[in-house]
């Protein structure tokens, strides 16, 4: 049985990322326009069970995985952390081995990335990273798919990330190296990419990442502008002085005006409207956040199919 883990974008060969994006395009087109072809896809997960274990809140990731599995003919089981022995009388290693006996794929949303890898080391079934404190690869692959639907290949394009270099940003960095696009980070020095991210880029030996403290200079000629909440689920609330420092990195119509005229704006959601992004952006035609969210399901269908060796 093929076991392809989907843990981080820097560990998946670029040709496999391209293959997932290509498959997602076929599966989405079939779902929306080709009833006959869709019949073929709608049974590809027959007789499989996907487990979902989420330590953190989720609206999009959980629902889009559930929908993806059900639409491909598989079954889903939601595993509640407070109803299993994990961490209260059973080790992670033993729990992971048990999951391998009964499930075919496992989607995990955990706090610590190390725990995700420990699950994977002890698993005989594919593990999918549904977000950790450090990464969110399913989100970023859906974002790239969305960009490419609107604007064609992302290779060589300029992506500008504003605010805090968080888990979603790190997955963007991984994707930038794999798929060869430029990424510019713009935010206060306190929130700039940490050591691990800088080391990753240095090892790549490329000039893929630029750090530009001035947001207006950063977004100049951007093809894609992205931001996320300044405070992630695992973070502590920020003092007012930090919020004040971040304010000039808020995405506004005025700031987007310095980018290319065909720039797209993305945000993984949920958003703190009025903080990292102004409310009016969501009515602007450069904003594609709903398409991003919808594409989570289409791309995850192909992630599941790749993990199970179906293409
Ligand atoms: N974007 C995203 O992963 O959303 P959820 O936290 O709702 O899953
Ligand atoms: N950076 C956010 C993403 C939520 C989808 C968080 O980790 O809370």
Q: What is the pLDDT of residue 2?
A: 61
In the chain, CATH 3.40.50.1370 sits at: 9-135+293-307, 137-288
d(C-alpha 195, C-alpha 201), whole Å = 10
**The listed CATH number (3.40.640.10, 3.90.1150.200, 3.40.50.1370, 3.30.420.40) that belongs to domain 9-135+293-307:** 3.40.50.1370
Q: What is the pLDDT of residue 204?
A: 79
Please state, for a pLDDT cut of 70, what percent of the chain lies above it.
Answer: 99
- Residue 169's nearest CA partner among 101, 229, 241, 95 is 229
Cβ 268 under 6 angstroms from ligand 2? yes
- Residue 230's nearest CA partner among 164, 289, 139 is 164
Buried b (16+ CB within 10 A) or exposed e, 11-20: ebeeeebebb
CA 178 to chain CA centroid, nearest Å = 15
- Reply yes or no on whether the pLDDT at 5 is more than 90: yes
Q: Which two tokens stand for residue 212?
A: 């530009």
**Class for domain 137-288, per CATH?**
alpha beta
Cβ 269 under 6 angstroms from ligand 1? yes
User: What spacing in Å lies between the alpha carbon of 47 and ligand 2's midpoint?
Assistant: 32
What pTM was computed for the model? 0.97
Reduce the secondary structure of 294-308 to three states and give it as a string. HHHHHHHHHHHHHHC
Nearest atom of ligand 2 to the alpha carbon of 61 = 5
Please state, for a pLDDT cut of 90, what percent of the chain lies above it.
Answer: 95
Q: What is the pLDDT of residue 1?
A: 61
d(C-alpha 128, C-alpha 61), whole Å = 11
Cβ 229 under 6 angstroms from ligand 1? no
Q: Which of 24-33, 52-61, 199-208 has the lowest mean pLDDT?
A: 199-208
CB 163 within 8 A of CB 265: no
Q: How many helices (H) and strands (E) does the chain have?
A: 12, 9
- Reply yes or no on whether the pLDDT at 203 is more than 70: yes
Nearest atom of ligand 2 to the alpha carbon of 131 = 7
Q: What is the pLDDT of residue 87?
A: 87
Kindly report, residue by residue over 57-86, the tens digit of the pLDDT.
Answer: 999 999 999 999 999 999 999 999 999 999
Kindly report, residue by residue over 82-129, the tens digit of the pLDDT.
Answer: 999 998 999 999 999 999 999 999 999 999 999 999 999 999 999 999
């Amino acid at each position: 049985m093929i076991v392809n883990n989907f843990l981080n974008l820097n560990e998946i060969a670029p040709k496999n990322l391209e293959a997932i994006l290509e498959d997602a395009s076929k599966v989405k087109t079939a779902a929306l326009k080709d009833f006959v072809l869709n019949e073929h896809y709608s049974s590809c997960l027959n007789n499989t069970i996907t487990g979902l274990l989420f330590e953190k809140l989720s609206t999009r990731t959980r629902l889009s995985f559930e929908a993806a599995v059900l639409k491909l003919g598989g079954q889903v089981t939601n595993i509640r952390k407070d109803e299993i022995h994990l961490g209260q009388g059973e080790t992670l290693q033993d729990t992971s081995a048990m999951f391998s006996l009964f499930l075919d794929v496992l989607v995990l949303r955990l706090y610590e990335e190390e725990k995700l890898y420990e699950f994977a080391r002890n698993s005989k079934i594919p593990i999918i990273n549904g977000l950790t404190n450090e990464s969110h690869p399913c989100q970023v692959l859906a974002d790239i798919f969305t960009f490419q639907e609107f604007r064609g290949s992302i290779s060589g394009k300029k992506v500008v990330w504003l605010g805090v270099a968080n888990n979603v940003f790190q997955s963007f960095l991984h994707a930038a190296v794999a798929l060869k696009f430029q990424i510019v980070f713009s935010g206060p020095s306190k929130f700039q990419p940490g050591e691990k991210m800088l080391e990753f880029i240095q090892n790549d030996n490329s000039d893929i990442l630029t750090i530009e403290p001035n947001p207006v200079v950063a977004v100049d000629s951007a093809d894609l502008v992205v931001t996320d909440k300044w405070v992630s689920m695992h973070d502590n609330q920020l003092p007012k002085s930090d919020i004040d420092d971040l304010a000039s990195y808020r995405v506004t119509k005025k700031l987007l005006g310095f980018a290319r005229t065909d720039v797209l704006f993305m945000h993984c959601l949920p958003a703190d409207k009025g903080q990292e992004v102004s409310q009016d952006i969501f009515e602007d035609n450069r904003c594609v956040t709903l398409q991003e969210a919808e594409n989570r399901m289409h791309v995850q269908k192909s992630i599941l199919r790749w993990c199970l060796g179906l293409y």
